[in-house]
């Protein structure tokens, strides 16, 4: 009897968690897990950018902020459909919440983000004074869809808007001298764009 009760409780908790995820409105900073049953090479974790969008190979830019998981899942399925013989089976789940809970005050750490075609997109806490090159060494590489010749470092400007620095990581790999190694600042977002055809 106790086994049956434990199984019932486990199923109830699973159903409650799934329902909560389906009703939750996604926000910038959240991290989504995307799985495509028909092509596992497209499986990834995607960080929701400050503009509320995510980038999915073959689907492009998808609006996620303010939407539910099921809405995002349906949009990805629709965007991917032309690339498959039949509409693909897409699963989307929330694996990390941005901005939830109390912020931990640590004077020597800053929050930076990596988005797009990174191996592990999301929010990172790094030591103040970390250079861009050091940060690139910490992020775990890029996906096979990454356009590493045109990385974008987006930095919020105190006057509003943002500064954008374009970085050619391929040149760095080849040993090209770095004229000015940028120091990462709190709130920086490194965007790794998707590679174009024949790029």
Report the alpha-carbon distance of residue 31 to residue 45 in Å, rounded. Answer: 7
pTM of the model: 0.48
Measure the CA–CA gap between 50 and 40, rounded to whole angstroms.
Answer: 27
pLDDT at 2: 52
Both tokens assigned to 57: 């190979």
What's the pLDDT at 114? 92
Residues (pLDDT < 70) of the chain are: 1-22, 99-107, 179-180, 199
- Among 118, 84, 138, 80, CA closest to 194: 118
Give yes or no for a contact between 181 and 132, defined as CB atoms under 8 angstroms apart: yes
Reduce the secondary structure of 119-174 to three states and give it as a string. Answer: CCCEEEEEECCCEHHHHHHHCCCECCCECHHHEEEEEECCCCCEEEEEECHHHHHC
pLDDT at 4 (0 to 100): 52
CB atoms within 10 A of CB 193: 18
Closest alpha carbon to 184 in 161, 158, 154, 160: 154
First to last CA, the chain: 62
Structure tokens at 181: 């190694």
Question: CA–CA distance from 178 to each of 9, 105, 153 (Å)?
Answer: 58, 33, 15
């Amino acid at each position: 009897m106790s086994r049956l009760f434990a199984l019932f409780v486990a199923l109830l908790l699973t159903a409650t968690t799934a329902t909560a995820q389906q009703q939750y409105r996604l926000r910038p900073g959240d991290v989504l897990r995307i799985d495509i049953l028909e092509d596992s090479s497209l499986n990834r974790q995607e960080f929701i950018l400050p503009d509320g969008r995510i980038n999915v190979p073959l689907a492009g830019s998808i609006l996620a902020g303010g939407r539910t998981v099921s809405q995002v899942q349906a949009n990805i399925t629709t965007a991917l459909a032309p690339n498959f013989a039949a509409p693909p089976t897409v699963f989307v789940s929330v694996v990390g919440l941005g901005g939830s809970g109390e912020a931990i005050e640590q004077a020597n750490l800053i929050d930076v983000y990596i988005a797009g075609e990174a191996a592990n997109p999301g929010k990172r806490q790094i030591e103040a004074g970390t250079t861009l090159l050091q940060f690139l060494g910490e992020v775990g590489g890029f996906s096979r869809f990454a356009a590493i010749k045109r990385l974008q470092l987006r930095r919020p400007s105190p006057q509003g808007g943002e500064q954008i620095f374009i970085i050619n990581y391929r040149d760095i790999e080849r040993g090209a001298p770095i004229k000015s190694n940028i120091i990462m600042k709190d709130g920086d977002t490194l965007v790794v764009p998707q590679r174009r055809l024949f790029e």
